[in-house]
Amino acid sequence: MKYRQLGRSALKVSELCLGTMNFGPRTSEPESFAILNAAVAAGINFIDTANQYGGHLGVGATESLLGKWLAEDPARRDRVVLATKVHEPMSDDVNDRGLSARHIQMACDASLKRLGVDHIDLYQMHHIDRSAPVEEIWQAMDRLIAQGKITYVGSSNFPGWKIAQTNEKAIAGHRLGLVSEQGLYNLIERRAELEVIPACHEYGLGLIPWSPLAGGLLAGAPQDPGGRRQSEAMKTAATGRSDQLSRFEALCRDLGEAPGAVAIAWLLHQDGVAATIIGPGTPQQLTALLRAPSIALSDEVLAQFDLVFPACGPAPEAYAW
């Protein structure tokens, strides 16, 4: 496993970040533990979750599952970079959501309790909150840092303008500011190249792409009869992109590599990517994805991918002049 700096921070994270959204609601606790153990054994030191994850088990269920795994071996906590998120509704209470200073403080305390840890390495704002002044957000984050409850602050699903606004306020207050942005980015969905990635470059944020396989479209022929690729929405999407996907899979065959691993390798070849989220549902899927960081893609091959999945154009000038 290779490691990269998380943005302009000195923190080193593995190129693959283990996403846990399915742990609990889709992947059983024993199988989730098996994936976590295999990931750590393979050198993955970056684990991402969110306080809302839990699906039908209820919000917070995934953090609680991770807490049980961490408690099995106290040494695990110091070996992993632990990331979680705040913003999404945690109950019907009107104040139990968003990015008010009150909610950020309460949500962090609740996450720490579920995870069974005394600090979170990377605390990420899951979405923007247009009602929350940036000054209020930084007030809350400053307090959590001073209390030793969080170390770094990151964003998730932020547009470029919000990254700029948030970090300009941080600079004015002599803060480190955001060190990462976790956003939607893959071969099919490349709009992040227009504004988000340029903003990350300008302010020194490490990009952490989520959905690297575009919901399974880039994973190749579906093997799991109950997987997401079998849903009606995904079948429709696959039909609409059948030519693109066929050309992509043909390129992967020429490389002698599995499509899913190639799609992740492509992301790791993009400037500014610190790590990419992977969300294996089984240990076997994890094993297949571990191949990705070792796949080298030449400039010629990368250009071929651009022909199949065109870039958005010179960013942000693709639509500005």
3-61 confidence digits (pLDDT tens) = 999 999 999 999 999 999 999 999 999 999 999 999 999 999 999 999 999 999 999 99
The residues that bridge with 207 in the sheet, in sequence order, are: 181, 273
The average pLDDT across 235-254 equals 94
Looking up tokens 């606790």 gives: 29
Q: CA 17, CA 38: separation in Å to the nearest integer?
A: 13
Residues 6+ positions from 267 with CB-CB distance below 8 Å = 185, 186, 209, 212, 273, 276
Matching CATH number, 3-308, of 2.40.50.140, 3.40.228.10, 3.20.20.100, 1.10.357.10: 3.20.20.100
pLDDT at 222: 66
Tokens of 3: 């490691």
Helix residue ranges, H only, the chain: 29-41, 61-72, 75-79, 101-115, 134-146, 160-172, 196-203, 232-240, 242-255, 259-268, 283-289, 299-308
The residues that bridge with 17 in the sheet, in sequence order, are: 277
Tokens of 279: 């969300």
Decide if 123 contacts 152 (C-beta within 8 A): yes
Does the bond joining 316 to the residue before it have cis omega, within 30 degrees of 0?
yes
The average pLDDT across 167-193 equals 97
Q: What are phi and psi for residue 90, nearest 5 degrees? A: -110, -10
Residues 208-238 as b/e (b if ≥16 CB within 10 A, e otherwise) read bbbbbbbbbbbbbebeeeeebbeeeebeebb
Which amino acid makes up residue 63?
Answer: E
Q: CA 193, CA 54: separation in Å to the nearest integer?
A: 31
Over the chain, what is the mean pLDDT? 95
pLDDT at 283 > cutoff 70:
yes
First vs last C-alpha separation in the chain: 42
Q: DSSP 3-state assignment of 261?
A: helix
pTM as predicted: 0.95
Report CA 198 to chain centroid distance, whole Å. Answer: 18
Q: What angle do CA 172, 178, 182 make, to 5 degrees?
A: 150
Tens digit of pLDDT for each residue in 197-240? 999 999 999 999 999 999 999 998 765 555 555 678 888 988 88
pLDDT at 293: 96
pLDDT at 223: 57
Tens digit of pLDDT for each residue in 109-128? 999 999 999 999 999 999 99
The average pLDDT across 54-83 equals 97
CA atoms within 13 Å, Cβ hemisphere of 204:
13
pLDDT at 231: 74
Which helix H or strand E contains 84, and what residues bound it?
strand 81-86
Task: Indicate the domain borders of the chain.
Answer: 3-308
Active site (catalytic) residues = 53
Which helix H or strand E contains 117, and what residues bound it?
none
